[in-house]
Chain A
Amino acid sequence: MNDRIGRIYFGVLGIITLIFGITNLIVTLGGNDFSWGILEISSDMFRGGWGGLIVISAGLFYLSSLKNFLEIHQLSRALMGSILVWILAGTDIFVRITESIPGGEEGPWFNSLKGFLETYSPPYPPVIFLLPFSLIILFFVNKMKKA
C-alpha cells in the first residue's frame, strides 16, 4: 500500500518539479523575471540557470525512484531528490535571513521589525513551494528504518 502511495505521490511531485525546473531554464533564457501571483521565477544565471538545472535533476531523481519505490536504492533516489530541493530552498531562505537583519545602506544598524518581516513576504521562488511537499520523504525513510 505504502509503495503504491509513494509511487503516486512522488510521481506527481516529480512531474511538477520537472516542470518548475524547465520553466526556470526557459525564463532564464528569456532574460526577464516571471511573476504569477505569489510565485516568482528569477532570470539570473545563478538562481534561474544553475538553480533550474538542479530542480530538473531533483525531478528526475523523483521520477527514477518510482519503480519498486520502497526498495532501499530506489528510496535513496527520492531522498536525493528531496535533498536537492532542501539545498535550493535552504539557501534561498538563508539569503532572506541575511537580507532581513541589517538596516540598509542609509538606515540604522539593524532592520526594523516591519522591514524584517517584509523580507519574508511573497513572492517566492518555485523551490519554496516544493519544500513542504519534499519533506514527505522523511515519513517513508522513518517507516523503512522501523521496518
Chain B
Amino acid sequence: MTLTADERWDLIEKISNKVVTFGKFKHTLKDALGELTVKPLSGIPIAIAVLYGFWSVFCSFAGTLFTDGFFVKLFDGHFLPWIQSVFPGEGGWFYYIFVGDPAADNCFEAFGVLTSGFFVAIGVVLPAIFIFYLMMALLEDVGYMPRLAVLIDTIFHKIGLHGYAIVPSILALGCNVPAVTATRILETKKQRFIMMTLLAIFIPCGAQLGIMQEVIPESVGIVLLYLIFGYFLFGFILNKITPGKSPEILIDVPPYQKPLWNNIARKLRMRLEGFLKVAVPFVLFGCAIVNILYLTGTIDWLAKTVAPLLTGWFGVPGETVGPLIAAFLRKDLAVAQLSAIEMSKYQMITSVVLVSIYFPCVATFVMLLKEGWKNLLGSLAVLVAVIFLYGGLINLIWTLLGVQ
C-alpha cells in the first residue's frame, strides 16, 4: 500500500496526538546544571575541573598505586632477577632478544621481549588504559561528553571540525586504534582526513602518557603543551589547504543521568579486549624487532647516517634514532628507550615530542590504511612536513631561550 504525502502527514498527526503529551516545560535542577556546562563562561571552568579530576585520578591510580606501588617491585625485584637466572644461553642473541641486557637491574633498561615487553604492556600500560577507559565510559554515561562537544564546537570549527571531534580526540588519548574508527562520526571526507591526521600526529595514547608520567613526570606538561599547540596550529593550516566542506551539526544533548554500571562494565570490557588483542602483541613484537635491528648493527648504522640531521636540525643526540624506529612499532616503548639515553631535560622534551609526532604506531597505521590509502598517503605527507617544521621550531625555541 502506498500513501500520498497528505495521507502520510495525516497519519503522523494521528500518531503524534496519541503518543505526545503537551504541557508546560518545567526546568529541573539537572536542566539548570546542564545549561551551566554548555555556556562558555561557566562551562570552561567546569571542563577544566573535569579534566583536572580525570588526570589526577589517572596518574594516582595507574602511576602511584599500580605501577610504582606494585608492578615495579614485582617486575624489577622478583621477575627480572628470576628470568635473568633461569633463561638459558646468556650472552647469546636469543637471550638478548628475549631477556635483553643481562646486567640490567630494572625492566625499563633490560629491553627484552619478556622483560621490558611484559613490564610495559602489563605493568604500565594496562592500569593506565583501564582507568582511562573507566573514566571515559563514566563521563559518557553521565551525559557530560555531548555537553563538552557543544562547549568546544566553536573552537573546533576553526580547524574545520565540529564539537563531536572531541570523541575521537579523547578516545585517542586512550588508544589511537578505536579513535581512527570513531572519526566516522564526522560527516565529510575533509573532516575525517583532518581528524585522522591530527590524532595520528599530535595525540599521545594512554600507553605513551603512562610511560611519560613514569620517566619524565616533571616535563609531561610542557610536552602536552607543545602537542596541543601543534594540534590547533596544523589543524588551522590543514583546514585552509584541504578542499571540501565542514558543515554545522545539530547535537542531541541528553539529560544528565545516573550511570548504568552494566553499561560501563560492557564498554570497559570491549575496549580492554581490543587493547589486549591489538596493542599487547605489538609491544612484544616491537621489542623483538628493535633488538634484532640492534643485533644486526642496523640501528648503529642509521644513528651514524642520520646523526647530523638529528643533532643539527632537531638538537637531539644521534642515539635517538633507535627509539624513533621503535616508535613506529610502539610509541610507549620508544619513550621508555629514550629514558636510557643521556641527554639534557630540553633534549628529552624535544625527543619525546618527536616520538609523538613521528610516524603513527603500526596498529594505527593499519587502521588508517583501512580507511583508505589516499587518506593514508595524505596524512603521511602532512606528517613528514610537520616533523621537520615543528621539530626544527622546537629546537629553535630552545636555542633562542639559550637552554639548548
List the interface of chain A (C-beta within 8 A of B): 45-46, 50-51, 53-54, 57, 60-61, 72-73, 75-77, 79-80, 83-84, 87-88, 90-91, 94-95, 98-99, 101-102, 105, 109, 141, 144-145
Given contacts A45-B221, A98-B61, A102-B68, contact A54 B49 (CB under 8 A): yes
Residues in chain A near residue B36, CB distance under 8 A: 76-77, 80
B66-99 residues at the A interface, CB under 8 angstroms:
68-70, 72-73
Chain B positions within 8 Å of A105 at CB level: 68, 72-73
By the criterion CB–CB under 8 Å, are A102 and B52 in contact? no
B21 at the binding interface (Cβ < 8 Å): no
Q: State how many residues of chain B have any CB contact under 8 Å with chain A.
A: 28
CA distance A101 to B29 in the complex (A): 38
A51 touches B29 (CB 8 A): no
A91 touches B45 (CB 8 A): no
**A contacts with B: majority SS:** helix
Q: Which chain B residues have a beta carbon within 8 Å of chain A's beta carbons?
A: 27-29, 32-33, 35-36, 42, 45-46, 48-50, 52-53, 55-57, 60-61, 64-65, 68-70, 72-73, 221
User: How many Å from the CB of B57 to the closest CB on chain A?
Assistant: 6
Q: Say yes or no: A95-B64 contact (C-beta < 8 A), given A77-B36, A79-B33, A109-B73.
A: yes
Nearest chain A CB to B239 CB, angstrom units: 29
Q: Per a CB cutoff under 8 Å, which of A83, A94, A99, A102 touches B70? A: A102
Chain B residues with CB under 8 A of A87: 49-50, 52-53
Given A87-B52, A91-B53, A95-B64 in contact, is the A54-B33 Cβ separation under 8 Å? Answer: no
Q: Is the CB of A72 within 8 A of B29?
A: yes
Instruction: Decide if A72 touches B27 in the complex (CB within 8 Å).
Output: yes
Q: Which of A54, A61, A88 contacts B42 (CB 8 A)?
A: A61
The smallest beta-carbon distance between A14 and chain B, in angstroms, is 14
The smallest beta-carbon distance between B17 and chain A, in angstroms, is 31
Closest to B30 in A: A76
Q: What is the minimal beta-carbon distance from B19 to any residue of chain A, in angstroms? A: 28
**CB-CB nearest in chain A for B59:** A95
Report B201 CB to chain A, min CB distance, Å: 25
